[in-house]
Structure 1
Amino acid sequence: MTAEWVAVATVNEMGRRRKLRVELNDVAIALFQAGGRVYAFADLCVHQDRSLFKGTLLHGKVICPGHQWQFDLETGYEADQDRCQPTYPVRVDDAGTIYVQPTPKRPEAAAEAEQEARA
């Protein structure tokens, strides 16, 4: 069974900052726009519960404002710490509405994919 897509925002709401914090089923989600795509992360960092929304987007990574962990936009993987930030499937329709699935992707699968790509 495929999880239901939930409309959470529009691309216009992200504005020039290219990021937005939304709530999805009482979970804070940080949306980031880069390279023409939108990515969704659990807002609280797996390290010390800092808000990733308050972080920086740089070179395909979200940089946590707490200890500068750098999470890959595609996978949520943090190479230096060998950990993953929970990410969520995202799609954007032709009208610019952003939809997120409420079930996060499996972080272990992201870490395995990242490690295989580096091998």
Structure 2
Amino acid sequence: MSDWHAVATIKDLAARKKKSVEVAGTPVALFYINGHVYAMNDICIHEQRQLSKGALLFGKVICPGHQWKFDPATGEPEDQDGCQPTYPVRTDDDGTIHVSLLPVKEQA
């Protein structure tokens, strides 16, 4: 069984810049920012709101609850404690986006 799950295509994601998907029962938000795809847990660590329903502003993911600003690459919130879970992403030559729920250090 593969640790990578096909979840979307670049073409689908590029149109709206964000998308909610489910990976092995885990809600995941995909974001397309400056030509890169990022994956984060879709449920905010602060207000348990769907990050995929928030906004993208200056390369940050803005939670629709209390407007926490998250770095999509690291999950670090701006001026707040905690860390939003992020997931490794890879894209095939045909534009298929794959997400793994394994920590980055296990992706070798």
Same fold at TM > 0.5: yes
Change in Cα spacing, 1:43 to 1:81, as seen in structure 2 (3 Å) is: same
8 Å Cα contact 1:86/1:104 also seen in 2: no
Amino acid at match of 2:90: R
Q: CA deviation at 1:15?
A: 4.3
Structure 2: stretches of 5+ with no match in the other structure: none
TM-score normalised by L of structure 1: 0.81
> Secondary structure of the residue that 1:81 maps to in structure 2?
coil
Matched ranges for 1:25-40 at <5 A: 25-40=24-39
Change in Cα spacing, 1:68 to 1:74, as seen in structure 2 (3 Å) is: same
TM-score normalised by L of structure 2: 0.89
Q: Distance in 2 between matches of 1:68 and 1:32?
A: 17
Change in Cα spacing, 1:58 to 1:104, as seen in structure 2 (3 Å) is: farther
Structure 1: stretches of 5+ with no match in the other structure: 107-119
Over 4 Å off, 4+ runs: none
Identity in percent: 55
Q: Give the match for residue 96 of structure 1.
A: 95
Q: Give the match for residue 20 of structure 1.
A: 19
> Secondary structure of the residue that 2:28 maps to in structure 1?
strand
Greater displacement, 76-85 / 49-58: 76-85
Greater displacement, 62-71 / 9-18: 9-18
Q: Distance in 1 between matches of 2:78 and 2:47?
A: 17
Q: Distance in 2 between matches of 1:74 and 1:23?
A: 19
Matched ranges for 1:48-63 at <5 A: 48-63=47-62
Q: CA deviation at 1:14?
A: 1.6
